Amino acid sequence: MDQPLYKRILLKLSGEALMGDQGFGISPDMIKFVADEVLSVHKLGVEIAIVVGGGNIFRGVAASSFDMDRASADHMGMLATVINSLALQDALEKQGILTRVQSAISMHEVAEPYILRRAVRHLEKGRVVIFAAGTGNPYFTTDTAAVLRAQEIHAEILLKATKVDGLYDSDPQSNEGARFIEKMSYMQVLEKQLKVMDMTAISLAMDNNLPLVVFNMNEQDNVRKVVCGGTVGSRINN
């Protein structure tokens, strides 16, 4: 576990991953755990970008279901991702990792604007870059934002951190007989409509041949194992 296979990665964290055992908000213990996981990979010399969701604070799709305008709800969700990004930046910097937050929505007092060349320069200098506010557009999820940013910065792989061990043929939390799937093609994920990522994100990854690994974030050293080629989680590629 000392030789990374990748020079540059993008880690996608859901907002729910930061809740820990809480039902809402940010767990101090969980965000420190995430920072420790990122630190272990950063020490290997890997360039790390992160996209974090906002579902622990506000979820646009859920809000639109009770008659809120979808565009307004999604903009509120984007602001939630900025809150999570700033919290994660603080946790990472307490571990001694230089970190920059870049937002797709301009808010100069708290985050840099998203500028691709600046983001790449930060990565080259060994800084972790957190991309906040999704794509900056409503109707697009942070999963799609993660694939988009991964392509723009030429990340070699996208790591999708979840609460389960990887892909299953049905929801393992509601079906004890759900079967684990170690490898799957993009098209199979689309055909089976698995809920691991939204269809737009999977399609964009497929069009650009971006490999995805879905794994359990709650187990220690899993991020490092994935980066070093360990058999962790499920892999999606052509």
Give the side-chain half-sphere CA count within 13 A for 146.
30
**pLDDT averaged over every residue in the chain:** 94
Residue 108 CB-density burial (10 A; 0-12 exposed, 13-18 middle, 19+ buried): exposed
> Tens digit of pLDDT for each residue in 89-126?
999 999 999 999 999 999 999 999 999 999 999 999 99
Residue with tokens 């604070």: 57
Structural domain 8-237, CATH architecture: 3-Layer(aba) Sandwich (3.40)
Give the DSSP H/E element, type plus range, for residue 192: helix 186-192
Per-residue pLDDT reduced to its tens digit, 68-90: 899 999 999 999 999 999 999 99
Work out the pLDDT band at 60, boundaries 50, 70, 90: low
Domains in the chain: boundaries: 8-237
Q: Is 25 exposed, middle or buried (0-12, 13-18, 19+ CB in 10 A)?
A: middle
Beta bridge partners of 183: 235
Euclidean distance between CA atoms 87 and 72, whole angstroms: 23
* pLDDT in the model for residue 198: 92
Question: Taking the model in full, what pTM does it have?
Answer: 0.94
pLDDT at 66 over 90: no
Q: Which residues pair with 162 in a beta bridge?
A: 216
Whether 187 shows a pLDDT value over 90: the answer reads yes
